[in-house]
Amino acid sequence: MRDFLLYGIFALEAARDVSVNKIALLELFRTPLAINAGILGAFLVPFVPQTRVRDALTCLSVFCLIVFAGLIFTFLVILACCLVFALSRLLSRWAQRRGEKTLPLVTAWLFVNALYAPVFFVILPPFRGQMSWGEVALFWGPAFLVFKSIHYIHAACKGHIDPHEPPAFRHYILYMIHFASFRFGPFQKFRQFDDEVETCKQRLTWENRLQGLFRIGLAIAKYLVIFHWINRKFFYPHGYFGPFAEGLFENASTADPGHLWLMLYLFMFRLILFISALSDGVIGMNLLMGIRVPENSNWPLISRDILEFWRRWHVQAMAFFRDEVFFPIGGLRNRIRGYFCVFAYSGFWHFPSVAAVILFPLIQVVTFEGTIAWIQFWKRHERANDQWHVMRSKLYLHRTYLSQGLGILIVFHIMALSVLLLHDHKYGGTTMLPRMFGF
């Protein structure tokens, strides 16, 4: 009972002892389901007056946090939210007095990420031996709290939000801990989410309910593919457990190269399907409450170049990076520096390692610039209609299924190798990559 109160329902012995198809419940929930207890809001909202919906969802979110993550985690989350809110009030005043927001925003970035960085190395006592580095940060909710915190402070410094208004905290705290979207987003701007909650009962129609249920069904179907086909058939038999499959990287130096390539392909496919399933589930759950959440995945597997991939993959996270990193750094005027900072922070957001913070952004910048140069090269020759353009057409490499298929194949491999740098937290790909190429 003590562990349950302190660390949540998964700290109970039953989570380790009870199994489904010989897989412990704790292991199943380490790669979270496409839906969560936030769906209870769909049964709560219809019976609560519109003026009380915000308070009801806040209470539900706190209750779900305590049940599923425990009192310690819930207390620390709410404490961090209170600190960020207090900081938004201080920095917004500072920005007004200075007449510009650069220094207040730098302060906000340093403060928020100083709170976030230690979370990567937290291993909760009941899960010792099963939990890996980065799991609490990326799979328990802090990652998206960082996005929301920085966005809220930025909006307050720009004057788009007034954190000094009497009901400001009441609106802010639900934005931060709304349980249906807490653990995996997608990121949504404060004003958009706040307006949705303010008028959610207007959208409690049967059409929206059916659409919400359809998205939840789609999410569950994708999750079943992840569990019943990918995990049970390929990952679990080899001892690759957990969301990061750390056993794969631990044993990479002695594994067969063909096996490593197969597992990398499956790891990448599983990751894409996982984000897509979570997006469907969150959109569906919120739609049952009358809250519209933006799309977060748009078939990244069919991307024909790296620019298109990042327009389709983690759409709302990339919107955050664009507005909060790329444009403030200088936008297209300092394109290379902007790209590097975006992917360096993206790497840090996933895990603060050398591979994630330096190698990953370098690969992305080189790929971005190479893709832009390649597109511009062929556009020049297409306008000139010269022999280069004619040759490309004769080889069926100009707007054909062959050219599109090659593009999709190249992008998938680049991103699979990049994902290896992000999610091999201990070795940063240094053991697996050489072995994959026979070294």
Domain borders along the chain are 2-205, 208-436
pLDDT at residue 283, as a whole number: 96
Tokens of 278: 């979570």
3-state secondary structure of 48: coil
* Secondary-structure percent of the chain, ordered helix, strand, coil, rounded to 5: 75, 0, 25
* pTM for the whole structure: 0.94
SS3 label, residue 24: strand
Q: pLDDT of 49-60, one tens digit each?
A: 999 999 999 999
User: Can you tell me the mean pLDDT for 215-223?
Assistant: 94
3-state secondary structure of 295: coil
Mean of pLDDT values over 222-245:
89
Specify the residue for token string 């984000």. Answer: 275
Distinct helix (H) and strand (E) counts, the chain: 23, 2
Other Cβ atoms closer than 10 A to 129: 6
- The vertex-421 CA angle with 420 and 422, nearest 5°, equals 90
Q: What's the whole-number mean pLDDT along residues 211-230?
A: 92
Whether the CB-CB separation of 94 and 104 falls below 8 Å is answered with yes
Reported as a pLDDT band with limits 50, 70 and 90, residue 29 is low
pLDDT tens for 322-331 read 999 999 988 8
Helix (H, G, I), strand (E, B) or coil at 192: helix
Torsion sign (Cα): 346, 350, 351, 353: negative
What gap in Å lies between CA 398 and CA 404, rounded to an integer?
9
User: What does the alpha-carbon distance between residue 339 and residue 325 come to, in Å, rounded to a whole number?
Assistant: 9
Helices (H), 99-243: 102-116, 135-139, 142-157, 168-177, 179-182, 190-198, 206-224
- pLDDT tens per residue across span 145-189: 999 999 999 999 999 999 999 899 999 999 999 999 998 889 999
**Which residue is listed with tokens 């997006």?**
279
pLDDT in tens, 335-394: 999 999 999 999 999 999 999 999 999 999 999 999 999 999 988 888 888 888 788 877
Confidence band for 192, pLDDT divided at 50, 70 and 90: very high
Q: Mean pLDDT: which of 62-71, 166-175, 396-405 is highest? A: 166-175
Burial (CB < 10 A; 0-12, 13-18, 19+), residue 16, is: middle
Angle formed at CA 46 by CA 43 and CA 47, multiple of 5 degrees? 90
Q: Is the pLDDT of residue 30 over 70?
A: no
State the burial class of residue 13 (Cβ atoms within 10 Å of its Cβ: 0-12, 13-18, 19+): exposed
